[in-house]
Amino acid sequence: MPREFSRTQRIADQMQRELAGILQLEMKDPRLGMVTVSSVTVSKDLAFADIYVTFLGLDGQKATNEAVDVLRQAAGFLRSTLAKRMQIRFVPTLRFHYDETIERGSYISSLIDSAVARDGERQVDVSDEEATDGKA
């Protein structure tokens, strides 16, 4: 019977907490803005850690790409800082990715809102037609 939380999941959770603290307190690069570590996945052999981040206060795709590049360039510093804070023998290679789920969620939400609004307009138009047909 498998355990509830695998070792890789526990390491990923600890890495997420530690990276969030490091990025908030120790990274002073103004190109980053406010960084949020949304999730971390660690490969089964602990060789790689995929870190998904979002940024607050950055406008545009160019600024977002630049911020991800800053994190990729600082991966060595972040990895060595993680090695000092975590009690594991080997710290995985860090790979940073921009997490687009917030943007996708707001886009889908806007699509739903516009569809509901159009449906509401159609309901009003149909009820107006029925009211005028009944009076004639």
Structural domain boundaries enclosing 105? 101-136
Measured from the Cβ of residue 78, the count of other Cβ atoms closer than 10 Å reads 22
Report percent pLDDT > 90 for the chain: 46
Average pLDDT (3-16) is: 86
Number of domain units in the chain? 2
Query: Is residue 130 domain-shared with residue 88, that is, in the same domain?
Result: no
pLDDT of 38-92, one tens digit each? 999 999 999 999 999 998 877 788 888 898 999 999 999 999 999 999 988 899 9
Query: Is residue 19 domain-shared with residue 82, that is, in the same domain?
Result: yes
Query: Is residue 72 domain-shared with residue 125, that is, in the same domain?
Result: no
Average pLDDT (20-29) is: 89
Side-chain-side CA neighbours of residue 66 (13 Å): 11
Cα dihedral sign, 76-83-47-100: negative
Query: Is residue 80 domain-shared with residue 126, that is, in the same domain?
Result: no
Q: Which residues 6+ apart lie within 8 Å of 94 measured at CB?
A: 49, 51, 75, 78, 79, 82
Query: Is residue 67 domain-shared with residue 119, that is, in the same domain?
Result: no
Query: Is residue 36 domain-shared with residue 95, that is, in the same domain?
Result: yes
CATH number at residue 86: 3.30.300.20
Query: Is residue 71 domain-shared with residue 115, that is, in the same domain?
Result: no
Query: Is residue 115 domain-shared with residue 75, that is, in the same domain?
Result: no
Mean pLDDT of the residues in the chain? 86
Query: Is residue 127 domain-shared with residue 74, that is, in the same domain?
Result: no
